Amino acid sequence: TYVTPALHEGYLYGMSGRIFTCVDAASGETKWRSRQPGDGFPTVVGDKLVVITKPGSLH
């Protein structure tokens, strides 16, 4: 599953399947990848990056 990435403080956060990835928006360099918090949807709320998982958990 691919979702629209969220831009937060110069970094893009996105999901590809169950892999949560952070990419430097300026350089395109992958900063990290994680299986946590699971399959979901990253979004920016105010000044916070949050992820809503498909089962409905908020991280």
Sheet holding 6-8, edge to edge: 6-8, 11-16, 19-24, 30-34
How many C-beta atoms lie closer than 10 Å to residue 16's C-beta? 13
For residues 52 and 10, what is the distance between their CA atoms, to the nearest angstrom? 21
pLDDT along the chain (59 residues), means of 10: 83 85 95 82 86 78
pLDDT of residue 11: 93
**What pTM was estimated for this model as a whole?**
0.78
Listed by start position, the domains of the chain span 6-53
Q: What is the topology classification, in CATH, of domain 6-53? A: Thrombin, subunit H (2.40.10)
